Structure 1
Amino acid sequence: MAVALLSRSWGAEFTASLPQFQLIIYCLLMQSLLVKPTGTINCSEPTTDALLVALKENIFGKTDVRPVINLKTPTNISISFTLYGILDVDEKAQIFDSFIWVYLFWNIEGLSWDPVECGTDRISLPRKQLWRPDIVINEFMDENKAPDTYYLYVQHTGLVMDDLPIHVISSCNMDIYTFPFDIQNCSFTFNSYKLNAADVQLSFVEPVEDTLKNSLAAMRTKGEWELVAMFAEKPTILPEELNTSFDTLIYYIVLRRRPTMYVVNLLIPSCFLIAVDLFSFLLPPQNVDRSAFKMTLILGYTVFLLLMNDLLPVTGNTLPLINVFFSLCLALMVASLLETILIVNIQCGSSYYGLLPQWARVLFLNYLAKLVFLSKKCSDQNCDPEEHRTETKRCDPVVDAPQSEAVYKTSPTLQELRKISHELLSIRQQVNKHFKTDESADEWVHLGQVIDRLLFGLYVIFLSVSFITIFIIWLSWYNKNA
């Protein structure tokens, strides 16, 4: 109507001087200035009710088609999330259980209103009344058990802001080789479930550093796992693949296990038990039943492993290094028991053996005995008895002098002493003969002591090298991924 009145008033002036087609052009220009663009909402009054009535007439119920003027135009959706809690990490099932809050932003083309005319610059609307993108997390493994939310915000520029909680039970490929000092890298892959890249384009709301900072500030769980880092990437899609591929955003979430519980409950007791087994070598095998003590220690360690079995992760792809640690401890205990059985057999059954072979006497009693600081000292029983016979002969009275013969014949006391001296000499010879007979058994006992000391040294060296190697692997992996 306004355009018609203006055309009549101005028509008289321009009809005489301008051609008719110029008059039509002026009329179209005036109409474009006076009429608002398509999609702009007019409110009868600056109230929420007036804005809601206008929105119902323009956008409510249009949930079947993307909110674009031209369907060839892709809808740009910006995505972000905040990690509120790490609920569980199940290594056996390879599942990462978490709670996140997802933020989605997109624009309704052609929708706008004047904040002054309508009384507000944004309004909350029921989620079911508007078109929403079908954004999913590819790693999802179970039903979302988070509480339902029913509203979203619409800005006066047509920008839609939707945020909703999601209880994410996602698959995660976990490597538990360095358990309990392991670091896991799980991912969240966001993409449209049905709309390809020609229809929906995804982008990041904020840098991933800000996402990590917000997640650390909002974290409500202080359990076994802690959030260490977060990375993100967007795979590139070639133009010819837009109709066959889905636009994707990938977030990588780096988690680190807090190992204190496992160190206290698993590693320290194992180290204590292996230390007790190590110091059991100080027990003399000929006086104490060392084998019974070691057998009791092995049974105790086996019961300990059975009780702590639930704390150990079990997967089919890799064997945790801590299982190697426990197997090594048990193997060393069994080896020490076998070594004790061997030593006791040598020392206690030496009386039934023959002479020690010459090569064994040279190798073990001469060389290895010095190496383990167990060289045998010469005792009175092992010394040459000829010296004692010589000394005994020197103790006899001098019989060369003719005057001494008369004394010996006439003195009964001296004769008695002579008789006692010969008897003592006979006893000494019998004792030396007895010790000479037991010399073979003594060599076997000494051989057992040398082997025991030698195997104890090898036990200490192997134990130290193995433990240091395992702990270096743990610490290097932990520091490298920290």
Structure 2
Amino acid sequence: MERGWLHEYGFFLCLILHLLLQGRGDTFTINCSGFDRHGVDPVAFQAVFDRKAFRPVINYSIPTRVNISFTMSAIVEVDAQLQLMTSFLWLNMFWYNPFITWNPEECGGIRKISIAAENLWLPDIFIEEFMDMDQTATGLMVYVNSEGLIKYDKPMRVVSICNLDIFYFPFDEQNCTLTFSSFIYTVENMLLGMEKKVQEISNTSQDLIRSKGEWVLLDIHQRMMKMTVGTNQYDQIIFYVAIRRRPRLYVINLLVPSGFLVAIDALSFYLPIESENRAPFKMTLLLGYNVFLLMMNDLLPATGTPLISVYFALCLSLMVVSLLETIFITYLLHLATTQPPPMPQWLHSLLLYCTSPTKCCPTAPQKGNKGLGLTPTHLPGVKEPVELVGKVPGPREAELNGCPGSTRAQQEYEAQKRHLVNLWIEFSHMMDTLLFRLYLLFMATSIITVIVLWNT
């Protein structure tokens, strides 16, 4: 009874060893005799094709190493509103299949053949930032060499999510990530590696990129890490793609016209304030600038607050302030020529101080000083116009009082009134020049600040 059990056990053991040895011979060495004369025999690879549902390893506890490389051939679009980057990649994956080996000397020197990808096991490598359906063409081929190394090239149109920072638009640089990982296999079953150095990938992509559009590829960096989900760990390779926007379109269509309009608004201060043409001109400029902003709104990012929007708001504010300044000076001139109020003592002293030739205070333009009729008698040492106007009776009052010098009093009154009008006109021109210089100073400071922020 015991002998029969040993005999039966030995029979099964020999059968298992026979099957294993037979399987070893069929799967580890491809019979490729006649490939150079009659082509590839599908029967020689049938045993390999039948294993495509399983990971190709001899010992299932050994993880499969998949090396990754890619070439970025185009940057099609970067959508700032949806935070998406659309690009074209040539993804290259390499791994070993120990069940596909042959001796090139027995196969007419054939060292590499192509096989339909659908007949072999393929790693489930995907891009985590992918936000669209995989539209990779079907019927792709893989290359297999005599040592079992498989090379799988996969063209991809990648629509990936990218966290965009548009504050420095249109001089912005973005850093988008492409994270390659396995969807199913943990680190116990699959390990990821680099087929090429990341600098070689970056240089090749920069040389072969076909996109001459809005974005320029600057560099590609890489980092290896492991992602933990519960008790499982997944191998990951993160590529950081640095891109830069070409700003020429936005500089020509946005910054240059805006700069021209602001410069014209600044030059409009040289228009004579007495002609009353400055305010309508500035209002026309302000209206034109608003129309310009409405027309160029499609070129600006729809989300966030870029620095260029702050720049446009600043230019608009400067034009509004200059219009308000013109309205104030126009009102001051109108008040001075119709019903001039008495000039305070401190204001008259300040005016005399600033109009002194030895001082470096803002003075009215030369055109504004003409016709004022100021004489040396108006310099310090003369009574204030307020006092004179308050002490000398008006012509009507002198006539009622029966003053014999009513005509002379009337002349003095008119002269003092003209002198007061001239003082207020000179003060208006001085204020116009002062506010114009403050306007230029604030405009230059604001523009320099924006340029410095753009360059940092």
Given the two structures, how large is their TM-score scaled by the length of structure 1?
A: 0.77
The answer to whether structure 1 residue 99 and structure 2 residue 88 are counterparts is yes
**Given that residues 208 and 230 in structure 1 are in contact (C-alpha distance below 8 angstroms), is that contact kept between their aligned partners in structure 2?**
yes
Does 95-104 or 140-149 show the bigger shift? Answer: 140-149
The answer to whether structure 1 residue 116 and structure 2 residue 102 are counterparts is no
Q: Where does structure 2 lack aligned partners over 5 or more consecutive residues?
A: 1-16, 379-404
Residues 381 and 64 of structure 1: CA distance in aligned 2, closer, same or farther (over 3 Å): closer
- Partners of 1:474 and 1:57 lie apart in 2 by 63
**Given that residues 266 and 308 in structure 1 are in contact (C-alpha distance below 8 angstroms), is that contact kept between their aligned partners in structure 2?**
yes
The answer to whether structure 1 residue 329 and structure 2 residue 309 are counterparts is no
* Residue of structure 2 aligned with 1:263, choices 229, 243, 251: 251
Corresponding residue number in structure 1 for 2:275: 287
- Amino acid of the residue matched to residue 241 of structure 2? I
Does 285-294 or 162-171 show the bigger shift? Answer: 285-294
Q: Using the aligned pairs only, state the percent identity.
A: 40
Q: Deviation digits for residues 92-131 of structure 1, max 9, x if unmatched?
A: 1111010110000011124311112223112111111111
- Amino acid of the residue matched to residue 74 of structure 2? G
- Partners of 2:53 and 2:256 lie apart in 1 by 63
**Given that residues 83 and 99 in structure 1 are in contact (C-alpha distance below 8 angstroms), is that contact kept between their aligned partners in structure 2?**
yes
Corresponding residue number in structure 2 for 1:298: 286
**Given that residues 197 and 242 in structure 1 are in contact (C-alpha distance below 8 angstroms), is that contact kept between their aligned partners in structure 2?**
no
Corresponding residue number in structure 1 for 2:447: 467
CA shift, 1:303, in A, is 0.3
The answer to whether structure 1 residue 363 and structure 2 residue 350 are counterparts is yes
**Given that residues 363 and 429 in structure 2 are in contact (C-alpha distance below 8 angstroms), is that contact kept between their aligned partners in structure 1?**
no
- Amino acid of the residue matched to residue 111 of structure 1? I
The answer to whether structure 1 residue 179 and structure 2 residue 172 are counterparts is no
* 1:471 aligned counterpart, secondary structure: helix
CA shift, 1:57, in A, is 3.0
Does 301-310 or 343-352 show the bigger shift? Answer: 343-352
* 1:234 aligned counterpart, secondary structure: strand
- Amino acid of the residue matched to residue 417 of structure 2? T
- Partners of 2:223 and 2:281 lie apart in 1 by 60
**Given that residues 283 and 323 in structure 2 are in contact (C-alpha distance below 8 angstroms), is that contact kept between their aligned partners in structure 1?**
yes
**Given that residues 347 and 444 in structure 1 are in contact (C-alpha distance below 8 angstroms), is that contact kept between their aligned partners in structure 2?**
yes
- Partners of 2:247 and 2:119 lie apart in 1 by 49
CA RMSD of aligned residues (A): 2.7
The answer to whether structure 1 residue 250 and structure 2 residue 238 are counterparts is yes
**1:41-440 to 2 correspondences below 5 Å:** 41-47=30-36, 51-119=40-108, 120-235=110-225, 244-316=232-304, 319-350=305-336, 351-367=338-354, 370=359, 371-374=361-364, 382=375, 384=377, 430-440=410-420
Corresponding residue number in structure 1 for 2:12: none
- Amino acid of the residue matched to residue 439 of structure 1? H
Does 451-460 or 344-353 show the bigger shift? Answer: 344-353
- Partners of 1:313 and 1:451 lie apart in 2 by 41
Q: State which structure, 1 or 2, has the greater radius of gyration over its C-alpha atoms.
A: 1
* 1:124 aligned counterpart, secondary structure: strand
Residues 463 and 384 of structure 1: CA distance in aligned 2, closer, same or farther (over 3 Å): closer
CA shift, 1:242, in A, is 11
- Amino acid of the residue matched to residue 103 of structure 1? N
- Amino acid of the residue matched to residue 271 of structure 2? L
Residues 48 and 198 of structure 1: CA distance in aligned 2, closer, same or farther (over 3 Å): farther
Query: Number of paired residues?
Result: 401
Does 343-352 or 115-124 show the bigger shift? Answer: 115-124
- Amino acid of the residue matched to residue 138 of structure 2? D
- Partners of 1:215 and 1:172 lie apart in 2 by 19
- Amino acid of the residue matched to residue 200 of structure 1? M
- Partners of 2:231 and 2:119 lie apart in 1 by 28
* 1:286 aligned counterpart, secondary structure: helix
Given the two structures, how large is their TM-score scaled by the length of structure 2?
A: 0.82
Does 204-213 or 427-436 show the bigger shift? Answer: 427-436
CA shift, 1:145, in A, is 3.4
Residues 380 and 103 of structure 1: CA distance in aligned 2, closer, same or farther (over 3 Å): closer
- Partners of 2:444 and 2:418 lie apart in 1 by 39
* 2:343 aligned counterpart, secondary structure: coil
- Partners of 2:299 and 2:308 lie apart in 1 by 11
CA shift, 1:243, in A, is 6.2
CA shift, 1:428, in A, is 7.5
- Partners of 2:371 and 2:269 lie apart in 1 by 26
* 2:49 aligned counterpart, secondary structure: coil
Residues 345 and 145 of structure 1: CA distance in aligned 2, closer, same or farther (over 3 Å): same
The answer to whether structure 1 residue 452 and structure 2 residue 452 are counterparts is no
CA shift, 1:384, in A, is 4.8
